[in-house]
Structure 1
Amino acid sequence: MRRRELGLWLAGLGVPLGALAGLPEPLLAKNAPASIDPKGYLVSEKLDGVRALWDGQALRFRSGRTIAAPGWFIAMLPPLALDGELWMGRRSFERLSAAVRRTEPLDAEWRDISYQVFELPQGRGPFAQRAAQIKALVAGLQGSAVSAVEQRELTDAAALRARLKAVVAEGGEGLMLHRADAPVVQGRSDVLLKLKPTMDAEAVVLAHVPGQGRFAGQLGALEVQTPEGVRFKLGTGFSEAQRRQPPPVGSKVSYRYRDLTEAGVPRFASFLRVADEF
């Protein structure tokens, strides 16, 4: 699809063209209950990639910082806002993270990166309609670096569990469930749920707890606080390098956990990564 034809197609959707500054805050997922019924949702694989927002002219991290993508990669993207993930495939997050954080992109690395699109931030109608529009849009783009995230309808909880088991067995993280009837929503919302064998969340680092024994002189644990005000310590999941140079106080980190105590404290919490490094 040529750019002029694409512009006419987008105009028919009521989508503004050109620079799209001031995009709304992206939608963030909540954890799905284990008993979730998938009816009314579109289900996709949860990609372990880097969230990337395209505003029509620049590709940006969730923080708003510009991603230094090669010109040929940017040239494949259409003149309308997109939301998705940069992805190198399953179990490739560390390699991807290093590639997209470079101030000078390396073509050899970016040839392995795709942009997996799952939302039209300025689109109209319910999510099921927007998902169909994304699929049609991507089909008309030149180049192979842009893909529409596959969305499935699953009939019941048994089908959802089977799909989750299959994705995890193949090296995937889990599933995303997006309400099919949802309009574009900003911020963290239960219209978008994530389903994983273990749950994850984010917290702010309050303090560094010194290590003891074999961790003497290094980080022992992070004292963190959740958005709900719950304080607890993260003491596992760190690499040797992270114990020598831990995430700074005030930074946001992601962690995994199994469930919550009655007081809302995560059980068996383990450090995952710095959440706001992008």
Structure 2
Amino acid sequence: MKPNPATPLSLCLLLLSSPQAALAQQTSPPALLLASEYSQDIPLQGYWVCEKYDGIRAYWNGQQLISRNGLIISLPATLRQQLPSIPIEGELWLGRGQFGALQSLIQQQNPSAEQWQALQFMVFDLPEAAGSYRQRYQRLQQLIEGKPFLQLPTYQPYSNQLALERQLAELSDNGGEGLMLRDPDALYLATRSKALIKYKSYQDGEAEVVAYSQGQGKYQNMVGALVVKDAQGRLFKLGSGLTEQQRATPPAIGSMVHYRYNGLTSKGKPRFARFVRQYQAL
């Protein structure tokens, strides 16, 4: 079964997933420090803990703001003038549960839009600075002073596993995305590292839509599930999380989607995998 390309929603999905969509200029993706997934064998004593922001990772090179995938982001002059002359990196954030609105704002590339005034740049690090993260964080505190667009994560010291689980549960109850754990003694290395760790009540990933499965019952003549393939070559279905609209006009074959899951099955596939949103390469 295929979606009907004549409907406005289908046309919109095709445009958003097309490389010819009218977005901003592209450049080389920046080299950034990437977080590792939490595992019980990582000693966390001494780590700092903060909220994980559900935003768009961005790198300011001193002249341009660039997304993790190389999209040059146009900013209003009022925000741009608050950025320093040296490289910083972090996450553009509109608030909890606002990723869709943020994604739309970035794609519009309209610096005059009023929504920009609610945007914050959560500044994580100084990629080209020497010293430990503790030292870099102190420098960032001085750098953002008097600049409301630029904000720093608020850290708490890691105490024990039980306290971490309680903190995660409380944050999740309030619509939070998860926690990040940071080694304050680590140098900045532009690679995936245990200096930065994601701690969530679920895991997530991206996968390519390769087929559809037929819907049954009330979903007859609609998509029952997306058949997807992840970076490891695993094939599995995403049915949970799809709205009725998305079942009628699903993400196009070949597009990327974001999903969540809870561990792996005995066959090594994502357990309880569920659709979150269509992935846009920002």
Please identify, of 35-44 and 168-177, the stretch whose mean Cα deviation from structure 2 is larger: 35-44
User: Corresponding residue for 2:123?
Assistant: 117
The one-letter code sitting in structure 1 at the alignment partner of 2:174 is E
The one-letter code sitting in structure 2 at the alignment partner of 1:143 is K
Give the Å deviation of 1:187: 4.0
TM-score of the superposed pair, with normalisation by structure 1 = 0.82
User: Corresponding residue for 1:67?
Assistant: 73
User: Structure 1 residue aligned with 2:136, among 115, 130, 133?
Assistant: 130
Structure 1's 219 and 82: CA in aligned 2 closer, same or farther, altered over 3 A?
A: farther
Q: Which consecutive aligned stretches of 4+ in structure 1 deviate over 6 angstroms post-superposition?
A: none
User: Corresponding residue for 1:158?
Assistant: 162
The one-letter code sitting in structure 1 at the alignment partner of 2:119 is I
Give the Å deviation of 1:59: 1.4
* Structure 1 gap segments, 5+ residues each: 1-20
Question: Do the aligned residues in 1 keep the contact of 2:36 with 2:197 (CA within 8 Å)?
Answer: yes
* Structure 2 gap segments, 5+ residues each: 1-26
Q: Please give the secondary structure, in 2, of the residue aligned with 1:48.
A: coil
User: Structure 2 residue aligned with 1:171, among 146, 152, 175?
Assistant: 175
Question: Do the aligned residues in 1 keep the contact of 2:36 with 2:192 (CA within 8 Å)?
Answer: yes
User: Corresponding residue for 1:249?
Assistant: 253
Structure 1's 252 and 183: CA in aligned 2 closer, same or farther, altered over 3 A?
A: farther
Identity of matched residues, %: 38
Give the Å deviation of 1:220: 2.6
User: Corresponding residue for 1:55?
Assistant: 61
Question: Do the aligned residues in 1 keep the contact of 2:30 with 2:70 (CA within 8 Å)?
Answer: no
Question: Do the aligned residues in 2 keep the contact of 1:99 with 1:105 (CA within 8 Å)?
Answer: no
User: Corresponding residue for 2:272?
Assistant: 268
- 1:1-278 correspondence to structure 2 within 5 Å: 24-33=30-39, 37-139=43-145, 142-278=146-282
The one-letter code sitting in structure 2 at the alignment partner of 1:117 is V
Give the Å deviation of 1:175: 0.1
Give the Cα–Cα distance (whole angstroms) in 1 for the partners of residues 65 and 223 of structure 2. 35
Give the Å deviation of 1:251: 3.2
Q: How many residues matched?
A: 256
The one-letter code sitting in structure 1 at the alignment partner of 2:280 is D
Give the Å deviation of 1:236: 1.6
Could you say what the CA RMSD is over the residues aligned between the two structures, in angstroms? 2.4
